[in-house]
Amino acid sequence: MRVAIAGAGLAGLSCAKYLTDAGHTPTVLERRDVLGGKVAAWKDSDGDWYETGLHIFFGAYPNMLQLFKELGIEDRLQWKEHTMIFNQPDSPGTYSRFDFPDLPAPLNGVVAILRNNDMLTWPEKIRFGLGLLPAMIQGQKYVEEMDKYSWSEWLQVQNIPPRVEKEVFIAMSKALNFIDPHEISSTVLLTALNRFLQEKNGSKMAFLDGSPTERLCQPIVDHITERGGEVRLSAPLKEILLNDDGTVRGFLLRGADGAADEVFTADAYVSAMPVDPLKVMLPPLWRELDYFKKLDGLEGVPVINVHLWFDRKLTDIDHLLFSRSPLLSVYADMSNTCREYANPDRSMLELVLAPAKDWIAKSDQEIVDATMAELKKLFPDHFCTGQPARLLKYHVVKTPRSVYKATPGRQQYRPSQKTPIANFYLTGDYTMQRYLASMEGAVLSGKLTAQAIASP
């Protein structure tokens, strides 16, 4: 079967990969001149990489890890020590850690929490542990039901002291969906906590050893093309053309550089675009259907990825860090964490700025100035001295609509991969699958879509 897939993010590429494995012939049509969508990266004129987002792979990503295995590139994942490291705002330049011992789950998580005495008191830990029991005992059903509450509301309902939210969960909410606890659905936090506590290596983290475009997306493309598929860049879907019965007749592609538009036909069609551009492109006839109307309930959240190159080493920490800053979410010194970006003498910080709604329209310079002000609290030894570290250069990548904003009640709007249109399917991290809007969710959705096409 010939399958046309619009979008070469991880979902579109995963869908094409699993279709070729099942003997089908996909063509991936990507709007931009770069692979990867939200994992896309670019090389600047100095040969340095900058990325759409700082990306972490977790032990609790079975479909992603399976994909690495199938592609024979498992050695590209650089696994870090099993710990979570938080900055301490009250004590600038110091860190608090949750170290997971080599014990079975959930014991390793319980020990990690109990051993940390910087961030939570014993009564707070006990109250929080008791609050989590229903999620651990009743599992996913309970987690889904809690979509009616924001995380702040859920903590209140469970009688968990507000300090727990302030100390730990502002950082976690921002890391998971780029928004604060009063906005995020408790389903998101409970899903992550359940995976982290129920799988021994669930919260173990890995960095890719280079840029996601070259080190992850390209091997998927090679796998697809070696088996007869195709991936075309700079091939934007302009319109979904319909037959009289409402099924898809073809994808109309916008011609590049004044070239004529092209009609691309196949036996089945997939949107692997994010939900925001898909909504704009829906044919009027389809908009009347409940299945497509529900997409109005989903909308991408803004986020900004900041890269700063310095004239010296700021830290030796080879891990992800939770900044606990009002401006920033997580960050890492990529000169330590990533083989291809390694530099023994100079730091390259990659920092996620979230929530970003008040920053997305600001200039790069304003964003960098505000980030530099935060760095005084994160690295006082290097910025509050007579000879502060010097910023050599920066790159700012803004994504005004990234993953869907997971506020309470969103689960009901997430569509299945199969649509009411016989030859049209959806894939993408926002479609319904048991992982959040993440790389794992994108890869799993691609696999589910390929299965739906191969065995309708």
Closest approach, Cβ 255 to ligand FAD, in A, equals: 13
- Interface residues with ligand FAD (CB under 6 A) are 6-12, 29-32, 37-39, 52-56, 236-237, 272-274, 277, 303, 305, 352, 399, 402-403, 428-429, 437-442
Measured CA to CA, the distance from residue 183 to residue 15 in angstroms comes to: 32
Nearer to ligand FAD, 20 or 427 (CB): 427
Counting DSSP H helices and E strands in the chain, the numbers are 18, 20
Nearer to ligand FAD, 93 or 277 (CB): 277
The size of the chain, in residues, is 456
Nearer to ligand FAD, 180 or 429 (CB): 429
From the centroid of its chain, how far is CA 291? 25
Closest approach, Cβ 137 to ligand FAD, in A, equals: 27
Nearer to ligand FAD, 328 or 378 (CB): 328
Measured CA to CA, the distance from residue 24 to residue 2 in angstroms comes to: 6
Closest approach, Cβ 13 to ligand FAD, in A, equals: 8
Nearer to ligand FAD, 168 or 442 (CB): 442
Closest approach, Cβ 307 to ligand FAD, in A, equals: 12
Nearer to ligand FAD, 32 or 97 (CB): 32
Write the DSSP string, 154-177: HHHHTT--HHHIIIIIHHHHHHHH
3-class secondary-structure state, position 309? strand
Closest approach, Cβ 91 to ligand FAD, in A, equals: 26
Closest approach, Cβ 243 to ligand FAD, in A, equals: 21
Angle between helices 186-198 and 107-115 (to 10 degrees): 110
Dihedral angle at the C-alpha atoms of 443, 448, 454, 456, nearest 10 degrees? -160
Nearer to ligand FAD, 8 or 338 (CB): 8
* Strand partners of residue 260: none
Closest approach, Cβ 385 to ligand FAD, in A, equals: 31
Host H or E run for residue 374 = helix 364-378
Dihedral angle at the C-alpha atoms of 430, 6, 71, 332, nearest 10 degrees? -50
Host H or E run for residue 220 = helix 218-226
Query: DSSP secondary-structure letter at 216?
Result: I
